[in-house]
Amino acid sequence: MANTIDSSVTSALNAGAASGRAGQSAALQDSFMTLLVTQLQNQDPLSPMENKEMTSQLAQINTVSGIEKLNDSLGQINDQIDAGQTLQASGLIGKGVLVPGDRILLSQGEAAEGEEGDGEVTTTPFGVELEQPADNVTVTITNQAGEVINRYDLGGVDAGVESFSWDGETSDGQIAADGAYHVSVEATRGGEPVPVDSLNYAVVGSVTPPTDGGPLTLDLGAVYGRVELSDIKQIL
């Protein structure tokens, strides 16, 4: 009866290929060749190992080696992709972006000398992201206590991301006080709710390249923290 390599060795080879650990296939090759030579030296002369069996077993170990080399090549390609992505993302440093969130900041500059009243009102942009077109989108501005400051009907809005700005006025036409406010968004189509997400403005401070298989991240400051590149919905 012809000799065959034990099935446990084949299982080990398959496990080595799946794990992709550096140098593991070399160790398996050594073990494979040692076992193969031992079998050839001790095979039954009247029933030697058949050529097709030896060829099949050699093909298995070559497959493991090939998979490891392929994994190394893919790893190098991934590294190049990550480097290119980091270089592109670095172009966002200092730019304003819209990311998921509901925060709006309002500030009033000082009036010029000789002018009455307050200076120019500045608010950070906000945005909405719709999965499908909406017949009507309603935006509600609230203060930190949850009190409604103003409400706006934006009418129909197409699917995708749209950015808007708040004039800083309350519902009675006054300018709201300096500070942080929140925006909530409701959307309907044919009287039925449409999924919608609110977006807030932030400035990209720095970019951190991927490490240990993790994603590339953007630093948006102490308030918003770090986000992934996929969280950027619009560049302003």
Question: What pLDDT does residue 70 have?
Answer: 74
Question: HSE on the CB side for 85, CA within 13 Å?
Answer: 16
Q: What angle do CA 221, 226, 229 make, to 5 degrees?
A: 120
Question: What pLDDT does residue 157 have?
Answer: 95
Question: What pLDDT does residue 89 have?
Answer: 82
β-pairing, 226-228 vs 196-203, is: unpaired
Query: 91: buried, middle or exposed (CB in 10 Å: 19+, 13-18, 0-12)?
Result: exposed
Contact 139, 152 (CB under 8 A): yes
| Unique residue bearing structure tokens 């044919």 | 190
Alpha helix (H) residue ranges in the chain = 7-19, 24-42, 51-89
pLDDT average per 10 residues of sequence, the chain (236 residues): 39 47 62 70 63 67 72 67 72 94 90 60 95 95 96 94 95 94 96 95 92 86 90 93
What is the rounded distance in angstroms from the CA atom of residue 20 to the CA atom of residue 14?
10
Contact 217, 206 (CB under 8 A): no
Q: Is the dihedral of CA 151, 155, 158, 162 positive or negative?
A: negative
Contact 154, 188 (CB under 8 A): no
Spatial CA neighbour of 142 closest among 126, 157, 131, 130: 126
Rg (CA), the chain: 32
Question: What pLDDT does residue 75 have?
Answer: 65
What is the rounded distance in angstroms from the CA atom of residue 103 to the CA atom of residue 199?
8
Question: What pLDDT does residue 218 have?
Answer: 93
Question: What pLDDT does residue 71 have?
Answer: 76
What is the rounded distance in angstroms from the CA atom of residue 63 to the CA atom of residue 223?
51
33, 34, 40, 43 alpha-carbon torsion, rounded to 10°: -130
